[in-house]
Every structure is written in C-alpha cells, then in structure tokens.
Amino acid sequence: MRHRARLVEVLHRAETGPMIEEADFERTLVAPAIKKLVQKYDIKYRKEVFVPSDDDLADRVFQAGLDLAVEVGLFCQNTSRRITWTREELLEGLRYCPSEVIMGAGNDAIIARARKPDDNGRVVVAGGAFGTPVPEYMYIPMSLSYLKEPVIDVIDNPSLETVYGYPIKAGSPWEVLAAHREAELALQAAEIAGRPGICLGCVELSPTALGALAGVSWGGYRPTDWLHAPIMSELKTNYDMLSIVSHATRTGTILEAYYNPIFGGYVGGSEGVAVAIAGGLILLNQNHLPHTLNTRPNHPFLNCDTTPELIWATSLGVQSLTRNTNLVIDTLVGPAGGPGTKTMLYENAAFVIATTTSGQSLMASCHSSSGGATPKHASGLDSKICGEITHASRGMSRKEANEFVKQIVPLYIDDLPNNPIGKPFNEVYDMDKIEPTAEWQGMYDEVRNNLIKMGLPLDRLVF
C-alpha cells in the first residue's frame, strides 16, 4: 500500500530521534502534554453524556491529538529515542492513509471502509475470543462457536495456554512452535466452518516478534489475514513491533495497529483518554503503517472499557478521527462481565452502540471477562450480540445512541466491581454440538428482547 514506502524513514528516525529515558518520556512529556492540551482545547467530561454529539468538541480533540503527536512523538524502547514528525508530515500521512481494506479471500472476503459519525454505511463485524487463553482441546470448539455465527465477518481467535502440553515461554522456541500450532488450529477451524477464506486475526499468543513472524510464515496465516502490531501504554513502540511492521510491509499482510491508553494512568481521566486515542492513532498510522487502527482503553482496577467515563472517552476519541480523517478504525469491547452473565451482554450493547454511531469501520468483540484475561471465559454469543447491535445501530444518530446508552448503563454498572467473570466456555456451550446451553441462550434472548423493547431494531436487522 502507498503509505508503506515510509517504513525505512520510520526505522531511521527510531535510530536518530531525540534521546530520553523511558520513565521521563511518560512522566515529563506525555503526562504534562496531555494535561496542557486538555486545558488548551477546553475538553471537559460531562457525566450525564455517554455519547457526545458535539462536533466542535470532537474537532478540538482531533487538534489536541495532532498537537500531542507532534509534541511527544512515539518512543522506541530499544533505542530510547523518540520518533518525531512535523505537523505537515503527520497530516500528509493521514491524507494518504488506507481508507478501505479487503479482508479475507475468495467468497469470504469483506471490505472495511472509512466511516463518519451517524453513518449508515456497513460496519464489518470482527468476532472472537481476541486472545483469551484456552487449553488446546478447547481451541477449535471455541473458535467454531464464533465461526458459526453468520453475523461475524472476520475472526480473531483465542490463544493457546500450552503447546503439545508444554507451557509456552515468551522469546523461546516454544513461542515459535506455539505460533505454528495456533495457525494450524485456526485454519482448521475455518475449514470446518466452511469459511476457508475468512480473515483471521493473528498471531494471538505472540508476545514477541518471534511468534508473530513464525505464525505468518509458510504454511501459517496468510497475507489476507489480520496481523497485529500494537504500541505499549503510553505511546511506546519497540523493535519487536517494528519487526512485525517490517515483515507485514514486505509480505503485503493486512496489519492492525492498536493502542490502549490506561484510564487514570499517565494520560489522566476521560478527557486525557480521548486525546490520547486521537494522538496515539495518528502516531500509529504514521509509524506502524497499518490498514486498520484499534483502541481499547482500560480501567486499571475493573479491567474493562465499559464504564461511563470510558464509553464517553472512546466515543469522542473515535469521533475526532472519523470526522477529520479517512482512517479505518475499530474499537474492541472489553466488558468486565463474562459468558453466562447479563452484565456482559448489556456492557457490550452500550459500548457497541456508542462506538458504531461514532463512525468506526469495524466493530471488534469481545474481550470478555475482565478484558480477556480470564482463561476459557469467552463464547460465540459474546460477539453475536455485538454483531447484531452493530447492524441495528447503523444510521442511528449519536443523540439517539446517547439515549439508548443512558438506559443500558444502569443495568450493569453496579455489578462491575463484583468481578462478574461468568462461566468458562464448557459451561455455557455444548462442546460437541457447539451450541449454547439453554440457560445461556435464554439469557441472551431475554437481554435481546429487552433491548428491542427499548427501541433497538434487533428484530428488523438489515445486513
């Protein structure tokens, strides 16, 4: 893609940019810059608003994000240097960013396109366990529970707890072996489901470039699959991630870059999270050269992104970019709740309505049960509800979305501190038939019907 010619310049600037200690980067640059920009651009969180529809506010967040990107740059952990760009360079990077991407192959291919807030355009639904660790015997059944859902267009699978019964250690030959094994299993699941060309997120368990590169080598994941190259909180890259970027650039693999700011951390509160999302994704576009860009900000104690403060911040951060660029953006819902809980279903509903109406191009779900950290706690219905709500939200205005979210948040907010991780996959699904248990399906239907009664057109979906 045309923006990838910039790769050598990115690597060069990682070697030659201004030097700074890592702790100083966050403490003396990032934190004060965000605080100052929030004040300069008068960005204020209002508790009574969940999905802001103030276009001027969104545009100010974009300007604040651009200023942040210029002022601090991206830190490279291996060289202790900042990769910096001028405002004009960043704007040129945005001008020539990919505005659409074909994901997957053959009859399973789908196109993700840049959208705007309140847009009626189709949103691609990415479903899966998004790296939730699972035992090897559970990998294919869990993957199939998502693959079976026709509302899901792209898959992002679980990650393996072990490989051939042995623990997987980062940076070791085990990681390489595990990456190959994950690819084998993911491709096999796609074949079984009759969706061999479906785009597969990868490589889920790769903590270093070793796993990522091994998994996308010969016989593994394909260039039409969805490789990931994140940056660390806050605004930090490293040689492992840049190696993934370099490899994706040479092989033409679809690349997703993501950044997850921490609420209450160096970026501050909701306002800071919104600015960090804007600035972070601008820097990601410039340096990681992705096709799609994702954010999943995190609450440090609840391990979710579905608190009112984070829904507001994510919606606003996304709007700032969708209003002012053609970036292909997605957000990943990370509920505190897990399978077998109504809490999770309502959390997902609120987050998806807010982010879809903010203009995201893909909806990624679901980092169930405390942000995807609880092994085995993920299931196809977690993403199915997100997919259905994504389609029901198409063409909805942000004002309407705000009214829906206002009704939904009280249905789960008090449960978040109770660690409502729900049940593991084998207790909510029949693992042989790959069907939800009657209890879990019943809960799903109840929540879905409640949402219909609220006015969400889940019974009149148009795909």
Partner 1 sequence: MSNYEKLKEELTDLLLGENPEAPVVWAREILAGGVSAVDFFNSIFTPTMAVIGEKFGRLDIYLPELIDAAERAQAISDQVIHPMLTKQGSDQQMVKGKVLMCSVQGDLHDIGKNMVVLMLRVNGFEVIDLGVNVPVKTVLERAKEEAVDIVGLSSLMTTSQPYMKEIVERRDGFGLKGGFSIIVGGAPITKEYAANIGADAYGKDAVDAITKCLALLDK
Give the binding site for partner 1 (CB under 8 A). 27, 31-32, 35, 77, 133, 159, 161, 167-171, 175, 178, 205, 207-208, 211, 232-234, 238, 240, 262-266, 268-269, 272, 300-301, 303, 370-371, 373, 375
Helix (H, G, I), strand (E, B) or coil at 342: helix
The 3-state DSSP class for residue 60 equals helix
Task: Give residue 304's identity as a one-letter amino acid code.
Answer: C
Beta bridge partners of 162: 167
Range list of β-strands (E), 265-384: 292-295, 329-333, 362-365
Query: Smallest distance, Å, CB 58 to partner 1?
Result: 23
Closest distance to partner 1 from the beta carbon of 89 (Å): 27
Using the minimum distance from each CB to partner 1, give the nearer residue, 77 or 79.
77
Cβ closer to partner 1: 307 or 393? 307
Which lies closer to partner 1 via its Cβ, residue 268 or residue 279?
Answer: 268
Parallel, antiparallel, or unpaired for β 329-333 and 292-295? parallel
Cβ-based nearer residue to partner 1, 130 or 266: 266
Min dist CB 207 to partner 1, Å, is 5
Distance (Å, rounded) from C-alpha 356 to C-alpha 402?
12
CB 236, min distance to partner 1, A:
8
In the bound complex, what is the minimum distance in angstroms from residue 398's beta carbon to partner 1?
26
Q: Measuring CA to CA, which residue among 325, 248, 376 is closest to residue 58?
A: 325
Residue 293 CB, nearest distance to partner 1 (Å)?
Answer: 20
| Nearest distance in Å: CB 243, partner 1 | 13
Residue 8: CB partners within 8 Å, gap ≥ 6?
none
Chain-centroid distance, C-alpha 323:
19
Question: In the complex, what is the shortest distance from the CB of residue 393 to partner 1, in angstroms, rounded to a whole number?
Answer: 29
Which helix (H) or strand (E) is 258 found in, with range?
Answer: strand 254-259
Q: Where are the beta strands (DSSP E) in 37-146?
A: 74-76, 81-83, 100-103, 110-113, 124-127, 133-134
Q: Are 197 and 154 in contact (CB under 8 A)?
A: no
- The nearest distance, CB 301 to partner 1, in angstroms, is 5
DSSP string, 171-236: TSHHHHHHHHHHHHHHHHHHHHTT-TT-EEEE-TT-SSHHHHHHHTSTTSS-TTSEEE---BTTTE
Q: State which residue, 38 or 123, has the beta carbon closest to partner 1.
A: 38
Q: Which is nearer to partner 1, 22 or 430 (CB)?
A: 22
Q: Which is closer to partner 1, CB of 73 or CB of 272?
A: 272
Q: How many CB atoms lie within 10 A of CB 421?
A: 22
CB nearer to partner 1: pick between 35 and 148: 35
Rounded distance between C-alpha atoms, residue 424 and residue 397, angstroms = 36
Nearer to partner 1, 165 or 300 (CB): 300
Q: Are strands 199-202 and 226-228 parallel, antiparallel or unpaired?
A: parallel
